[in-house]
Each structure stands twice: as C-alpha cells, then as structure tokens.
Structure 1
Amino acid sequence: MITYPFLKKGAAIGVTAPSSGIPAGLHGLIKLACSRLEQKGYRTVCGDTVWTQKKAKSAPAVKRAAEFNSMMADSEIDIMIPPWGGELLVEILEYIDFENMKTKWVMGYSDTSALLLAITLKTGIATAHGTNLIDLRGEYWDETTAMWETVLSTASGGSVLQHSSPLYQKEWQHDNPSPCVFHLTEETRWKTTSSSTVKISGRLLGGCVDIIRHLIGTPYDDIQSFRRQHISGEPIIWYLENCELGTTDLRRSLVQMKLAGWFDNCSGLLFGRSPANMPVENYTIEDVYQDLADELQIPIVYDIDCGHVPPQVTFINGAFAEVEVTDGKGTVLQIFK
C-alpha cells in the first residue's frame, strides 16, 4: 500500500537544497517566497545549504544529505520543499536515510525528481512532483500552480481533481517580473498520438527523464519490488518531462527505461512540454512519441502541464489516477488509496 502524508494548516515548511543552492545575488527571491508563504499562515525553516552554491552544488553531498535527513527526522517540520532543482542531486542518494524516513511531503521537480521517485519506490511514501519554492514568490499563484495546496491537503482515501491549464508560459522573462511569476500567454493543448479522446488509469510514477534515467541499475530503481509490495501489480502511468535532451538522447533514454522493465504493465505515458526536444536529422519529438506508442501499444499524451514549461499539475508518485484527454483539454483525478 501507499502511505500518504497530509498537509495541515499552518504547516512548517523545511527548505533545504539537496541539489543546487541559491547564489548570493538571488537570496532575495527565496526570502520573498518564504515571506509569501508566511503571509498564508505557513512557517518556513531554511537550512544552511539554501544560501550557498559552489561547483554546481549547494554543498558537498554528505552535508546536503545530512541536512535533508535532519529535517526529515524533525517532528517540527511538516513538509520539505527545495528552493529549486540543479545538476548533482544524484550524489546524495547513497547517504539518504530511507529506512527511518518520517511520513511527510517532499515536493519539487527537475533534479529533485530523482529523490522523489527514489523515496516512493524504496518506502512506499507518496511524493509530490510540483512547484519549486522559488516559484511561489508571486503576489498570487495561477490556478494550476495553486492546486499544490489542495492536492497535498487531500486526506488518505480521498480524491482530488485537476484540470489542464488554460495558458502556459512560452519563455522565461526574468527581466520582466510578473505578479504571479509566470507569463502565461500561450493556449494549452494536451495532444495524443492516437485519437482525440484518451482515457487511462493506473498508479503514477515519473519525473525528469534527464535525471531519473540515472537511477536505472542502482539500488534506487527497484520497480518490480515496488509493484509487489506497494501497488499489488496495478498498472503504472508514467509522467515524464525533458529538460535538456535532444530527440535522439531522449529516445535512447526511453529505450533504456523500456529495456530495464520500467514500462512493463504500463497503461499510458504522459509527457510534459519541453524547451528541448530539438530534432536530430529530421527525427522530431513527434517521431519519438509515435515510435514509443507503436512499440508499447499504449496511449501517449504529450505537451501536458509538467516540468520546465510552466505551469504544472501536481502529480503524486504512488497515487492512483484516472487521466482523460478530449479535444486538447485534460483532467487528472488522483485517488489516495
């Protein structure tokens, strides 16, 4: 079975940087995000790693892991939200105390998704693939991002429905601040490789392909044990997003996942919008999706609200989901069972 944390009102948010910390010139952005959350009744507790960044990491791996483990063990901290992602989270996995992990939400995306997936696979504790802390610094949150609170405060046994966003952000405009952080200008359309209507159900697992592919062959990718111990062999819906991979590198990664058994008993695949997906010799991202759909004989939905082209739906690793797409609009019903 899956264990679901619960976000209570007035929760204490632990902010630690298991991957990258914040350079000195950007400290104000994290302080602003913490201030916004405190205005909403939360308490924030920032660790030392948040404020440092050197050689592509916030601190040495042992220090990052120790701070994360300490906050996870602290009964005064209710939820963990890193400031953002980064590059080298994979270094800390061997030092994480999975055996004694308390039940509390860990939420983030990008590099953090490797930690989220590893926690759920090894412990059966649900984790949240959603907004980073730094993107909560706006005067208000768009309706898609704001659902993180509703999703994380859903009780075990309950359910929560999310809709595809009306609009998404085509590109970051850091020199043109928006009251809600994102500049949402482009119409959102969820696309499919098959018919205009898709309905799939199963247990959610996923993250950023760039990083979670590196779990394959390590002690943190035991999908088969997770299937037996926690979801009784139910089908899986994988949600995936691509940060920096060209189409051939993405294709290689997906084939590796398939050969490693990750897509066994998979009812469907969901792919987020991507700033990458650059064609190689006319091999386009649509070709990648179609090749995978033909091989696996399952529906593939793409350009969904997930990842580095915001906003994003809050996906819960381990939750049972019913996903429907009709004429470019999508819904994700997550059931905490």
Structure 2
Amino acid sequence: MIRYPLLNEPVKIGVTAPSSGLHLEQHSLLEEAVYRMKGKGYEFLIGQTCWTQYKMKSAQATVRAEELNQMLRDDTVQLIYPPWGGELLIEILEHIDFDNIKPKWILGYSDISSLLLAITLKTGIATAHGPNLIDMRGQASDPTTAMWEKVLFTKKGEEITQYPSEMYQLRWQHDYVTDWVYHLTEPTKWKTIKNTPILIKGRLLGGCIDVIRHLIGTPFGDVGQFQQKYINNDPIIWYFENCELSVPDLRRSLVQMKLAGWFENCSGILFGRSAANETVNDYHILDVYMELAEELNVPIAYDIDCGHMPPQLTFINGAYAEVRVYNNNGTMVKQLFK
C-alpha cells in the first residue's frame, strides 16, 4: 500500500542539496525563494549543503546523504524541497537510510527524480515530481506551477485534477526577469500517437529519463518488487522528461527499460516537452514514440507539461491516476491518493 505524507499547517520545509548546491553569486536565488515562501506562512530549516558547490556537487556524497537523512528522520520537517537538480545525486543513494525514512513529501525534478523514484520504489512512500524551490522566487506562480501546493495538501482517499497549461516556455532567459520567473510564450498542446484520443489508468512512476535510467539493475530500481509489494500489481503509467539525451540515446534508454522489465504491466506512457528532441539524420522523435507504442501496444502521449520546458504538472509517484487526452486538447490528469 502506498503511504501518502500529510501536511499540517504551519508547514516546515527542509531545504537540502542532495545534488547541486549554489555558488556564491547564486545565493540570492534561494534567499528570494525562501523569502517569498515565508510570506505565505511556510517555516524553514536550511541545510549547509545548499550554500556550496564544487566539482558538480554541493558536497561529498556522505555529507549530502547525512544532511538528507537528518531531515528524513526529523519529525518537525513535513516537506523536503531541494533548491534544484544537478548531475550526481546517484552518488548518495547507497548512503541513504531507507529503513528509517518517515513519510514526508519530497518535491523536485531533474536530477532529484532519481531520489524520488528510488524512495517510492524501495519504501512505498509517495514522492512528488514538480517545480524546483528556486522557481518559487517570483512574485507569483503561473496556474500550472502553483498547483503543487494543492496537490501536496491532498489527503489519502481524496483526488486532485490538473489540466494542461495554456502556454509554455521555449527557452530560458535568466537575464530577463518576470513576476512568474518563467517566460511562457508558446501555446501548449498535448498530443497522442496518430492523434487518437486516449484514456490511461494506473499508478504513476517516472522522472527525468537521463538519470532514472541509471537505477536499472541496482537495488534502487526494482520495479517488479514495487508492483508486488506496494500496488497489488496495478498497471503503471510512466511519465518521462528528456533533458539532454539525443534521440537515438533516448531510444537506447527506452529499449533498456523494456529489456529490464520496467514496462511489464504498463498501461501507457507520457513524454514531456524537450529541447533535446532534435532529429538525428532522418531519425525523428516521433519515430521513437511510434516504435515504442508498437512494441508495447500501449497508448503514448507527448509534449505534456513535464520537465525542463516549464511549466509542469506535479506528478505523484505511486498515486493512482486517470489521464485523458483528446484531439481538441481537452485533457486532464486526475490523481487519486489511494
């Protein structure tokens, strides 16, 4: 059975950097985000790893893991919210005390999704794939991003429905500051293979495919055991976002997942938007999606609100979901905490 963390106001947020921290010139980004969140009534415990960054990581693996372990054991911390992702979170997984994790929300994306998926697979505790804490530094959030709060305040037995954004961000413009942080300029349209409407039901799992693929074959990526132990063999809806993989590398990664059994009892797959999906020779991203759909005989939707081309929905790993995508973009993701 999936265990869903419960938020009770006032919410105390633990901020730690299990992947990348911030260089000195970036400290103001976190300080502003914390200031905005405190204005909404949140309390904070900020770890030392947030303020350092050296050789692609905030600190050595054991230091990062110990700070995270302390917050995972701390009864006063209800939500762990890293500042952002990075590259080398996988180094800390072997040092995490999975046996003593107390159910609490962990929210983030990019490299953080390695931690999220590993915790849900090993413990059955639901985790949240959504916007970074740094992205909370604006005066306001767009409606899609802002849904993270409603989603995390959902209680066991309740349901929450999210809809596609109206516009999305095509490129990052850090030197151009807006109230919403993001620069939403392009119309959002979720799509399906062959443009056919789909309805997918199952348990959500996923994250940034660049990093979660490296859990395959490790003690932190046992999808089969998770299905048997925690979700009574319910089908899985996978959601993926591609940060930097070339189209053929994405294809190789998906084939590896298939060969490792990750797609057994899969009811459908959702792919986020990606700036990395450039055609290589004559091999197109749609070729990848269509090949996978044919091999697995499951519906596939793509260009959904997930990943490094914000805004993005907040997906709960382990939650039961119903995903509808229509030709006219009348789409939704309904998550049930059961």
SS in 2 for 1:146: helix
CA distance in 2, matches of 1:304, 1:7: 27
Given that residues 129 and 317 in structure 1 are in contact (C-alpha distance below 8 angstroms), is that contact kept between their aligned partners in structure 2? yes
> Post-superposition shift, 1:160?
0.3
Corresponding residue for residue 25 of structure 1: 25
Q: For each residue in 1:271-320, what CA deviation from the matched residue of structure 2 results, as whole angstroms up to 9, or x when unmatched?
A: 00011112221101111101101111111000000000000000000000
Structure 2 partner of 1:194: 194
TM-score (norm 2): 0.99
Aligned residue runs from structure 1 range 1-337, under 5 A? 1-326=1-326, 327-337=328-338
Once residues 76 and 305 of structure 1 are traced to their aligned partners in structure 2, the CA distance between those partners, rounded to angstroms, is 32
Residues 170 and 184 of structure 1 are in contact (CA less than 8 Å); yes or no, is this contact kept in structure 2?
Answer: yes
Q: Deviations over 1:114-171 (max 9, x none)?
A: 0000000000000000011000110001000000000000010100000010110111
The answer on whether the counterparts of 1:189 and 1:329 sit within 8 Å (CA) in structure 2 is no
- Stretch of structure 1 that moved more, 198-207 or 323-332: 323-332
- Separation of aligned partners in 2, 1:293 and 1:168: 26
Residues 237-282 of structure 1: per-residue CA shift (max 9 Å, x gap): 0000000000000000000000000001100000000111122211
Q: Which amino acid aligns with 1:107?
A: L
Q: CA deviation at 1:330?
A: 1.9
Quick one: distance in 2 between partners of 1:247 and 1:10?
45
Deviation at 1:328, TM superposition (A): 2.5
Q: Please give the secondary structure, in 2, of the residue aligned with 1:275.
A: coil
Query: 4+ runs of 1 displaced by more than 3 Å?
Result: none
Q: Secondary structure of the residue that 1:99 maps to in structure 2?
A: helix
Displacement of 1:7 in angstroms is: 2.1
Counterpart contact for 1:194–1:299, Cα < 8 Å: no
The Cα RMSD (Å) is 0.7
Structure 2: state its 5+ residue gaps. Answer: none
Aligned residues between the structures:
337
Aligned counterparts of 1:148 and 1:194: Cα–Cα separation in 2: 31
Secondary structure at the counterpart of residue 214 of structure 2 = helix
Unmatched 5+ residue regions in structure 1?
none
Distance 2:93 2:307 in 1: 22
Instruction: State how far apart, in whole Å, the 2-side matches of 1:162 and 1:119 are.
Output: 24
